[in-house]
Amino acid sequence: MDIRNLKGVGAARAELLAARGIHNVRDLLLYFPRDFDDRRNIKAIADLTPMAINTFRAVIYNLPARSFSRGKSIVKLKIKDSTASITLTWFNQPYMTRAFVKEREYLFTGYVTENPYGLEMRSPIHEEVCKAQEYAYIIPIYPNIHGISQKIFRAIIKNALDIIKSRGALSVSGIEAQLFPEILPDAVMAGYNLMTRLHAIINIHMPQTPENFYKARRRLSFENFCIRLLALAKLKEILKVRCAPWDKLNVNIFLSRLPFPLTDGQHEALNDILRDMSSGYVMNRLIQGDVGCGKTAVAMAACYAAIQNKRQAALMAPTEVLARQHYISFNKVFAPLDIQVVLLIGGMPKSEHVKNSIKNGTAKMIIGTHALIQTDVEFYDLGLVITDEQHRFGVRQRLGLSEKGGSAARGDKINKCHVLIMTATPIPRTLALVLYGDMDYTRITGLPPGRNKVDTFYVTGAYRARVHKFIDKEVKLGHQVYVVCPSIETITEPMTETITQDNPPVESVNTAQDMQSVTDYAAKLSLSLPGVIVSVLHGKMKPYEKQEVMDLFYCGKIDVLVSTTVIEVGVNVPNASLMIVENADRFGLSQLHQLRGRVGRGKDKACCILISDAKSRAAIRKLKAMEKISDGFELAELDLRERGPGDFFGTAQHGTGVVDTREDMDILDQAQSAADLIIKNGTHEREPLAGEVNRALGSGIISL
């Protein structure tokens, strides 16, 4: 059934739903809630429990009042019932003055605190009590869809379920046979005590108890992981393509040109690559390693092997800044070996000359951005494709480059190109199975000699003046400094951290915070530190402007670079000894670790200072962890325990899956065992499971 024919949708809402991949009733019912509100326990105001999430119901007699404090908007609403009163507060949300109608009854859910003036609830979820008395149930909370409120979306879901029920489709011969057939084998269902698929879908949308919701989510998470793992296993078989083995794999001449010996971890990774190249099958390998572990040197050696076998090698980087840096690094090593290195990025002058050299084979080593996958870029004989930080590219972009491999003259144009992916993003091995299960996997352990530990300090904004003095000191010692800000222009916004039972605010006052901006920060820093050369870098600058700034910074003509996260990946300036991250709570642990990795690349001691005025315990725990932990994979494991795997997968709702809680990691381990059993028994080839696996392969849900 087309979603446009469903009551409450219409053309406009159908378009909004389509933007989230919802085109029919099946898509709609596979769009699962991320959480729920238990609104069965509605309390009188006098019975609300401080320092906990509560729900109460009250009639509005006075409209909210707006005031200002330190230039920031504060909306307050005093509410009373027959037992007591409470103050509701919203920061920098002036529209809340128009959110209520007098003498109507509303339901409020939020975290309650107590101060000398009484009870307070900040930014509560609120909803008008409707005739259906919806507040008496457990209410699912869905990922937001722009333009459609939670209440309206729940009504659309209910209408879909009502239609199915009215047609008798909830019988075995109905919905199970048509929309949601059971896909998991009986042995798996019994062995892991799983709810049926049909009951899981009903209970995820309309749970009668929290227990039913959790059982449904467990079943759907298990199913999602299982489908991903089976799809990746199938894809791995599809990508296992025969090719002529390479026989010239002695890279000692190249290694002798490096100014440093490879570490044991680098040697292991290189041996895995050379073994793949000589195996007679196309390589499809992921090389993962912490910031600074030396992945680039391994990639260079792999490219040298390709060129020795009379093939071209290409490296695709996610940004122009990183592509140019790779070009400089590769050219420094390859030029003395009489290997021509070219750079191809979008909009560059003389690009036709570069494209011709790629097409006629003069260019042996090609480095670029996504410009490499343009249709007018033809390779003479591409044998190795390397993508740096592959998760920043779409799957189609990565495959688009590998499909340019092979030699038309030999008739092996399709799927004859070795593929190597590099990432410094610390992904726990358990999740790597799901994200990159179609690939062979190598992790580079250890760091090259001379890489110093970067001391990390977390401070509040009250220390900013002292931090600026430290900047001045480092510059006078001849060092350079990065300052990373979360925005290009100054904005002031309310705290957006989710307040939950496990993540309450530390203090009783939750104020808005100023988001530090690149432009304003650089201007203020120039005024406070005369004589220090400060420049800016951000994504809205033109490519040639960004490159000019990076060149000047690399050459030491800029003392302090104030930037957005455009410098997050791969930028290498050995003289930079200090990294300052403003509003550090706005970044994830892995991103903070990447930023920290931009310093400490030279012989001098380096440090990273994280500045944040965040109040939540979760944010403070995260920043304190950065002080204590220097290993990126340990931080990734911590991030996983704190936030669950949803952030690693991007959108938590994708196809048939709910991937949003830390408990899902236990489910993933179980799903891995189940997938192995299914493959062993051959039941993955049977319908309807085979159909779901093929659907996953076709829709691209198996990769970021």
Summarised one tens digit per residue, pLDDT across range 537-570 is 988 888 788 889 988 998 999 999 999 988 766 6
Residue 457 has pLDDT above 70, yes or no: yes
The pTM (predicted TM-score) of the whole model is 0.66
Beta bridge partners of 367: 315, 343
The residue among 232, 311, 245, 235 whose CA lies nearest residue 282 is 245
Under DSSP, the state recorded for 633 is: H
Q: Which amino acid is at 531?
A: G
Across the range 308-318, mean pLDDT stands at 93
> Phi and psi dihedrals of 465, rounded to 5?
-60, -40
CB contact at 8 A, 183 and 55? no
Nearest to 79 by CA among 105, 59, 97, 55: 59
> What confidence score (pLDDT) does residue 512 get?
38
Alpha carbon distance 637, 423 (integer Å) = 16
| Token representation of residue 526 | 């120039």
Alpha carbon of 361 to those of 27, 244, 339, 372, 379: distances in Å? 48, 20, 11, 15, 7
pLDDT digits (tens, 9 = 90+) for 430-440: 677 666 777 88
B/e letters for 89-112, b = 16+ CB within 10 Å, e = fewer, are bbbbbeebbebbeeeeebbbbbbb
Q: Spell out the domains of the chain, with CATH numbers in brackets.
A: 41-136 (2.40.50.140), 252-280+294-423 (3.40.50.300), 455-629 (3.40.50.300)
Rounded CA gap, 209 and 218, in Å? 15
pLDDT at residue 17, as a whole number? 94
Between the CA of residue 93 and those of 40, 64, 123, 493, 511, what are the distances in Å? 29, 12, 9, 9, 12
pLDDT at 167 over 70: no
Taking the CA of residue 208 as centre, how many other CA atoms within 13 Å lie in the half-sphere pointing to its CB? 2
Q: Could you tell me the CA-to-CA distances from 25 to 5, 200, 205 in Å, in that order?
A: 10, 16, 13
DSSP helix/strand/coil, 163 = helix
| Calpha distance 549→537 (Å, rounded) | 7
Contact 523, 499 (CB under 8 A): no
Rounded CA separation 678/223 (Å): 12
Which of the two residues, 45 and 407, has the higher pLDDT score? Answer: 45
Mean pLDDT of all residues in 456-471: 95
The whole-number pLDDT of residue 177 equals 47
Q: Is 576 left (phi over 0), alpha (psi -120 to 50) or beta?
A: beta
Which of the residue ranges 141-155, 308-322, 470-484 has the most confident prediction, judged by mean pLDDT? Answer: 470-484
Confidence (pLDDT) at 658: 41
Position 594 confidence tier, pLDDT thresholds 50, 70, 90: confident
**For residue 475, which phi and psi values (nearest 5 degrees)?**
-65, -40
**Which residue type does 455 have?**
D
Peptide bond into 688 cis (omega under 30): yes
Of 350, 351, 353, 357, the C-alpha closest to 369 is: 351
For the chain, how are helix, strand and coil distributed in percent, rounded to 5?
Answer: 40, 20, 40
Residues 397, 262: contact at Cβ < 8 Å? no
Single out the residue of 513, 516, 468 nearest to residue 488, CA to CA. Answer: 516
Q: How far apart are CA 482 and CA 559, in angstroms?
A: 9
Q: Taken in order 171, 177, 182, 185, is the CA torsion positive or negative?
A: positive
Mean pLDDT of the chain: 83
Residue 93, amino acid: Q
Q: At what angle do helices 589-596 and 617-628 cross, to 10 degrees?
A: 40
From the list 406, 376, 247, the residue with the least C-alpha distance to 314 is 406
Q: For residue 429, count other CB atoms closer than 10 A to its CB.
A: 12
Q: Which of 41-50, 63-72, 314-323, 481-490 has the highest mean pLDDT?
A: 41-50
State residue 26's pLDDT score: 87
> Is the pLDDT higher at 39 or at 213?
213
Q: What confidence score (pLDDT) does residue 205 get?
A: 92
Please say if the pLDDT value at position 427 is more than 80.
no
Q: Name the amino acid, one letter, at 551.
A: D
Helix intervals (H) in 239-294? 252-257, 264-277
The pairing of beta strand 576-582 with beta strand 125-128: unpaired
Q: How many CB atoms lie within 10 A of CB 446?
A: 15
Residue 487 has pLDDT above 90, yes or no: no
Q: What is the 3-state secondary structure (H, E, C) of 198-251?
A: HHHHHHHHCCCCHHHHHHHHHHHHHHHHHHHHHHHHHHHHHCCCECCCCCCCCC
CA nearest neighbour of 564 among 638, 468, 482: 482
- The pLDDT, as a whole number, for residue 136 is 53
Closest CA to 93 of 110, 106, 78, 75: 75
